[in-house]
């Protein structure tokens, strides 16, 4: 990590990303958005998977398939900033990132495999995932413990000869139904002094005896392929070679994949929030109350203005944080602040959009209600707001305790 900032803050889109973003924009408007009509039931995209396959063919033709992967894996190697900007475009349609094969949790799992996988693991698990022949899931959260403190996790993996034997229960595991494999966070040691270093990542093929989907809870927000089911692991045996990275390195590896993932999520939320504001402004211009357009009532104008400010601040935070990541500068604090601020701004913007739409804001067959429901979950996954605030406050206090200004913990811009 370098500590000195490269000269000049430049908020223009780097020239090499411009043509890619134009192709992604065309893909979203000409391919993904029209394809939404061909999904028979939005709550069951898997039943219309041929539509997703066709979108992937279009993405390949446009040269934008798996943009997050390095070129030798069929991608574009666009980096953190590139992926954030692509995600912003994808926010306009839930099919867009599926069509690029760049959706959670597969995108994050591809990065995790690249970070920690050996050659055999990459061929066995990454190759089919990158080519879109399989899906995957990441299994950390457990129903019985507060999983925002990872040292609570109870699923164990015990060595028995040449195998790991896993036992435990997971839930809210995105994409698990129909996934070919899971990257499971499991306790491989029980040393109180080691904390999160007791945990490892283990690849579990989902056809292994003992892996079972217990139930499919209904969650607030739109459904994703494979849902977010609850999983039981009972005496699940996998080869020793399915350990991903070193023993005890589970959370260190997970941390390395998180910065890019959180910024991509944040930019996707910005894309969705922008759509909510666009729809709101259009509606206010179309409807009249008390003798004039809704758009001419100051109370509603203030809502538009507040959402515009939220979007501006959100975009700047993502761009600045991505800039820090790409220049190898410290960025943990900035990622925490950005993830938290943008997820909460998304909620505020969605809420105002509901209000500006009146009854149309809560009609489940119109877009705003779905956006509102999706926005609520953003404050919980990928680190809940409170946990990120804990991390942020720790940085502020560390500097204050050292008798220094806390500026460095506040984005350290300029």
Ligand X SMILES: Cc1cc2nc3c(=O)[nH]c(=O)nc-3n(C[C@H](O)[C@H](O)[C@H](O)COP(=O)(O)OP(=O)(O)OC[C@H]3O[C@@H](n4cnc5c(N)ncnc54)[C@H](O)[C@@H]3O)c2cc1C
Structure tokens at 22: 């134009």
Q: Say how many C-beta atoms besides its own lie within 10 A of residue 44's C-beta.
A: 13
Residue 230, CA distances (Å) to 36, 139, 169, 171 in order: 28, 10, 7, 4
Structure tokens at 132: 């879109």
Q: How far is the CB of 169 from ligand X (least distance, A)?
A: 12
Please, are residues 76 and 67 in contact by the beta-carbon 8 Å criterion? yes
Please, are residues 325 and 336 in contact by the beta-carbon 8 Å criterion? no
Does residue number 203 form part of the binding site for ligand X (CB under 6 A)?
no
Does residue number 105 form part of the binding site for ligand X (CB under 6 A)?
yes
Q: How far is the CB of 86 from ligand X (least distance, A)?
A: 21
Q: How far is the CB of 219 from ligand X (least distance, A)?
A: 6
Which residue in the set 214, 390, 393, 400 belongs to the binding site for ligand X (CB under 6 A)?
390
DSSP sequence for 205-240:
ETTSTTEEEEE----SS---TT---EEEEEEEEEEG
Does residue number 141 form part of the binding site for ligand X (CB under 6 A)?
yes
> Which window, 41-49, 161-169, 287-295, 380-388, contacts ligand X (CB under 6 A)?
380-388
> Which window, 16-24, 35-43, 49-57, 146-154, contacts ligand X (CB under 6 A)?
146-154
Does residue number 339 form part of the binding site for ligand X (CB under 6 A)?
no
The SS3 assignment for 318 reads helix
For residue 198, give the nearest of 162, 245, 153, 160 by alpha carbon. Answer: 153
Which residue in the set 360, 366, 384, 410 belongs to the binding site for ligand X (CB under 6 A)?
384
User: Which residues, 243 to 282, sit near ligand X by CB under 6 A?
Assistant: none
For ligand X, how many residues bind (rule: CB under 6 A)?
20
Does residue number 363 form part of the binding site for ligand X (CB under 6 A)?
no
Residue closer to ligand X by CB (options 121, 147) is: 147
Helix axes 385-401, 332-357, angle to 10 degrees: 140
Give the whole-angstrom CA distance, residue 42 versus residue 29. Answer: 18
Give the whole-angstrom CA distance, residue 136 versus residue 177. Answer: 9
Residue with tokens 């993405």: 59
Q: How far is the CB of 118 from ligand X (least distance, A)?
A: 24
Q: How far is the CB of 252 from ligand X (least distance, A)?
A: 17
Does residue number 140 form part of the binding site for ligand X (CB under 6 A)?
yes
Residue closer to ligand X by CB (options 105, 361) is: 105
> Which window, 88-96, 167-175, 191-199, 398-406, contacts ligand X (CB under 6 A)?
167-175
Residue closer to ligand X by CB (options 214, 305) is: 214
For residue 99, give the nearest of 148, 141, 66, 136 by alpha carbon. Answer: 66
Residue closer to ligand X by CB (options 76, 375) is: 375
Counting every residue written for the chain, the total comes to 414
Which residue in the set 147, 198, 333, 343 belongs to the binding site for ligand X (CB under 6 A)?
147
Q: How far is the CB of 356 from ligand X (least distance, A)?
A: 25
Q: Say how many C-beta atoms besides its own lie within 10 A of residue 155's C-beta.
A: 22
Q: Is 166 left (phi over 0), alpha (psi -120 to 50) or beta?
A: beta
Question: Taking the chain, what is the end-to-end CA distance rounded to the nearest angstrom?
Answer: 18
Please, are residues 180 and 208 in contact by the beta-carbon 8 Å criterion? no
User: Which residues, 118 to 137, sit near ligand X by CB under 6 A?
Assistant: 137
Does residue number 188 form part of the binding site for ligand X (CB under 6 A)?
no
Does residue number 381 form part of the binding site for ligand X (CB under 6 A)?
yes
Give the whole-angstrom CA distance, residue 13 versus residue 91. Answer: 18
> Which window, 11-19, 120-128, 363-371, 378-386, contacts ligand X (CB under 6 A)?
378-386
Q: How far is the CB of 220 from ligand X (least distance, A)?
A: 8
Residue closer to ligand X by CB (options 184, 243) is: 184
At residue 178, what are phi and psi to the nearest 5 degrees?
95, -5
> Which window, 144-152, 305-313, 332-340, 346-354, contacts ligand X (CB under 6 A)?
144-152
Give the whole-angstrom CA distance, residue 28 versus residue 5. Answer: 35
Which residue in the set 174, 188, 200, 314 belongs to the binding site for ligand X (CB under 6 A)?
174
Q: Which residue is nearest to ligand X (CB)?
A: 384
Does residue number 138 form part of the binding site for ligand X (CB under 6 A)?
yes
Residues that bind ligand X (CB under 6 A): 105, 137-141, 146-148, 172-174, 228, 377, 380-381, 384, 386-387, 390
């Amino acid at each position: 990590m370098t500590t000195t900032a490269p000269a000049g803050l430049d908020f223009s889109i780097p020239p090499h990303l411009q043509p890619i973003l134009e192709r992604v924009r065309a893909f979203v408007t000409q391919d993904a958005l029209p394809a939404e009509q061909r999904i028979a039931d939005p709550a069951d995209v898997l039943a219309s998977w041929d539509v997703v396959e066709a979108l992937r063919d279009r993405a390949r033709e446009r040269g934008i398939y798996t943009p997050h992967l390095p070129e030798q894996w069929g991608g574009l190697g666009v980096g953190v900033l590139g992926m954030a900007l692509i995600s912003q475009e994808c926010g306009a349609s839930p099919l867009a990132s599926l069509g690029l094969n760049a959706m959670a949790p597969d995108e994050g799992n591809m990065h995790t495999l690249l970070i920690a996988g050996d050659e055999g693991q990459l061929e066995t698990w990454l190759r089919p995932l990158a080519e879109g022949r399989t899906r995957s899931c990441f299994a950390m959260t457990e129903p019985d413990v507060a999983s925002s403190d990872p040292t609570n996790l109870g699923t164990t993996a015990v060595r028995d000869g040449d195998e790991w034997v896993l036992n435990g229960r997971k839930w809210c595991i995105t994409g698990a139904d129909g996934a070919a494999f899971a990257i499971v966070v499991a306790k491989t040691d029980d040393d109180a002094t080691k904390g999160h270093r007791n945990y490892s990542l283990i690849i579990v093929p989902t056809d292994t005896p003992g892996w079972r989907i217990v139930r499919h809870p209904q969650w607030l927000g739109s459904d994703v392929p494979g849902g977010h089911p609850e999983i039981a692991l009972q005496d699940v045996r996998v080869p020793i070679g399915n350990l991903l990275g070193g023993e005890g390195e589970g959370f260190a590896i997970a941390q390395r994949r998180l910065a890019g993932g959180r910024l991509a999520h944040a930019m996707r939320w910005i894309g969705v929030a922008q759509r909510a504001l666009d729809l709101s402004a259009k509606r206010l211009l179309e409807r009249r109350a008390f003798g004039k357009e809704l758009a001419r009532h100051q109370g509603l104008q203030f809502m538009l203005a507040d959402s515009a400010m939220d979007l501006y601040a959100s975009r700047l935070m993502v761009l600045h944080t991505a800039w820090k990541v790409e220049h190898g500068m410290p960025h943990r604090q900035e990622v925490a602040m950005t993830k938290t601020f943008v997820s909460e701004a998304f909620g505020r913007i969605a809420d105002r959009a509901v209000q500006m739409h009146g009854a149309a804001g809560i009609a489940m067959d119109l877009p705003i209600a779905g956006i509102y429901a999706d926005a609520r979950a953003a404050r919980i996954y990928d680190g809940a707001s409170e946990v990120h605030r804990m991390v942020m406050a720790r940085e502020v206090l560390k500097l204050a305790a050292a008798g220094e200004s806390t500026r460095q913990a506040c984005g350290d811009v300029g």
